[in-house]
Each structure stands twice: as C-alpha cells, then as structure tokens.
Amino acid sequence: MQTSSNKIVAIVERSRQAAEQLAWTSGLMRRQGVETLAKALNNSFDEILEANTIDLEISRDMAVPEIIVDWLKLTPERLEIAVKTLKQLAKLPDPTRKLINAPYQLEPSQTYCQLMSLGAVAFVYEAFPELAAIAAGMCLKSGNSIILRGCSTTSNTNHTIAQIMQNALSSTNLPLGCLEAIFPDSGTSIQDLVTQDQYLNLIIPYGRPSLIQQVAEQATAPVLKTAIGNCYCYWAESGSLESLRHAIIDSHASEPDAVNAIEKVLVHRDKKVPYIQSLFKSLQEKGFTLKGDNTLVEEFPDYLKLASPLEWQQPYLNRTVAFRYVDNLTQSISWIDRYSSHHADCIFTESYQESRQFVQGVDTALVYINASPRFDRNPNNGESVFLGISNQKGARQGLIGLETFTTVKQVVQG
C-alpha cells in the first residue's frame, strides 16, 4: 500500500517532469491550453456551484469563521470573472520569449537576459476555489507545472474544479502532470508538500497570515509570501477629504478578497475636526465599523470604538477601519514601517515634497499617492493579470504577474 509520503513524492516528481517538458512546449500550445481551461470552466458552472453549495452547508454546520465562508462562497459572477481572466491570460504575449537588457556588459561580447520558466510550482490556498484556475492558467502560460493544495473547507469544490481542469487538459498535447492536485482528505499534510525542495521550484501560499506563516516556517523550497489586508494610509494636513473617502470605500469593494483594503488611517493631528467628523459619518453610513486610538475615541465617541494595541499590526479582513493621530510625516512613516503588512500603503497630500519623502521612507511593495489602492486581478484595459501581491523582499516583491513565474538567464553572445 502506498503511504502518504510516497504519494506526495510521486505527484511532485511527475509535476517536475511535466515542467521540464513544458519548458520546451511552444507558446501557442500553452496559450491553447489556457483557452481550454477557460472553456471547460465556462461550461461547468452548474457542477461547480453544486459542489460549492455542499461545502457551504458543511462549513456552516462546522462553525467555520465567517470570513472563510465569504471567501469560499462562489457565485456565477465570480466564476465569470475567473473565465474572463483566463481568456485575458491566453491573449497575453508569451513571457518566456521576452529579452531584457543585462545589468552589465562583458566586453567585447554582447550580454542580455532572457526570461525562463521556473519549473514546478505549488499553490497552497485557503478557500478562494476559483483562484486555483487562475493560478493554473498563469503557470501554464509561463511554462510551469502546478500542484494545487486547497483547504478542507472547500474540499468538494476543489475536487470538482481540479477534475474539470485535468479532464480538459487531457485533450491537449500538454504533458501529463502539468496540473496536479493534492487534497487534505488524502492523508497528506501541507508540510509533506512544502518540504519537497528536490522537486519544487516555488511555493505560493495564499490566505490568512496564519497560513502564510505556517508555510514559510515549514517549507524547504523557496516561498513567495502573499499579503492581504492591514494596509495603512497617511492623511496629511493638506490631504483631500473626498479623495480619501473615495479611496477607503473603493479599496474595500474588490471581491472576493479586498487585498489592498485600507484598514488603518493615520491622521495628522492638525486636521480640522469637521473634516474628520464628516469622514466618520460617511463611512458609518456605508456600513463600516470604525475604531480609533484613545484620543480620537474621546473626541468622537459616537463614531469610534477603542482599538486594542494588537489590532494595529493585524488585518481585519472585513469592513473595519481604525484611525490614529500622528504628529507629522516622519512619525507616520515610522508607524507604518513598524505595523503595516508592507504590501500596499498610501498617502493623501497636496505637497509634492511630502509625497516624495513618503515614497522614499515607507517600507512597502506598492505606494499609492492620492489614489485608491484597490486591487484587481484583471484590470480593465490592462496588459497584465495578477494573482495577488507579495510583501517579500527581492525580485518578486509587489504584484504577482506572469513575470513572477519566470527567472532570468543571462546570455553572453560572442
């Protein structure tokens, strides 16, 4: 009888072999593979939603946290977005054909860099069943194989989506093993998967901070951390009330996961009281729960509840925003660098000098100036598709797009 350890080794070895074949597969064939995934998903809405209904019923009986239930609950609209994203992926240029300038030249030869596929990628995700299809599409498009490992709360939906995609790809000329799936009920743990560094080239965990931390601590293969929530905003003395109000509301509007939702706002201490009160009132009318530090709660008891010390470094992952007074820009940067999730932070100011100091000083992957940080996986009229955002230092920090699934090979041409 095959043990769980042997099962994992067999799967990741098969995935690695498929990745080696995919690296030699033409961009046209990989594009057709992504189109096949989109078509199969589009034709299977009823089957997927039926499986998802079972997962929802089980989750409610097991008292699964509300945020996870929201993440796993599929709708025709969410599935349509996934299909649209896959279709957009298929249209994009093959990233592995891209040449870029080398950071240096070796005379008298010509030196350049070419993007290459990574190899075998493991995607460990919590709820978000449709993200399995988007991650699979991004891997296939960039010439990588993928191993999906979802959570137990979406077991039926994950099984169904994986089976649909595997059946669809079996009709193509792409190598067997290019899309594998591992499920919790198979007796294998996350640790069993993420310690297969002899086969895996990259692991991407997606979900709550607890999952990201678990994978990062257990993995022996390279990990690309993702981040959701606990984004900070500094509202400078000259910052626009209307712009900030729009940004907060808009940043919470992306579904199913408001990746870049503004959850903490640092308010300049000299900000006029009527402006602050107007912001609180409008957010409260929009259904937001508002919290604050001691001083703000004392000033605005009708709008704010007291935020605990731990809340400033933890994401809410719901429509909650906490406010805190700061004396100046330097103090705001120091606070953000200490407590934010470091993947997306913003500033609202009319001072160009202040905005430049914020950009230079704040330790974050993405900085927004007088703009909503709202995240979209398939931006309208855009040229890219994004899986999420990484707050991890290095070449892959920031938006996780197709190039994230590639590596650079330097070529010296004599």
Q: What is the pLDDT of residues 167-193, one digit of tens each?
A: 999 999 999 999 999 998 877 899 999
Q: Do domains 4-226+388-413 and 231-369 have the same CATH topology?
A: no
Superfamily of domain 231-369: Aldehyde Dehydrogenase; Chain A, domain 2 (3.40.309.10)
Tokens matching residue 140: 């296939």
CA-to-CA distance for 53 and 154, rounded, in angstroms?
10
Residues 108-131 have a mean pLDDT of: 93
Sequence-distant contacts of 27-30: CB under 8 A, at least 24 apart: 27/94, 27/96, 27/97, 29/172, 29/173, 29/174, 30/94, 30/140, 30/141, 30/143, 30/174
The listed CATH number (3.40.605.10, 3.40.50.1360, 3.30.70.141, 3.40.1500.10) that belongs to domain 4-226+388-413: 3.40.605.10
Mean pLDDT of 273-297: 97
Specify whether the CB–CB gap between 158 and 59 falls below 8 A.
no
Q: Evaluate if residue 98 carries a pLDDT over 80.
A: yes
Inform me whether the pLDDT recorded for 1 exceeds 50: no
Domain boundaries, the chain: 4-226+388-413, 231-369
Task: Say how far apart CA 230 and CA 136 lie, in whole Å.
Answer: 27
Q: Are 260 and 389 in contact (CB under 8 A)?
A: yes
Render pLDDT for 55-64 as a digit per residue (tens, 0 to 9): 999 998 888 8
Interatomic CA distance for residues 384 and 404, integer angstroms = 12
* Sheet of strand 406-413: strand arrangement: 99-101, 110-117, 406-413
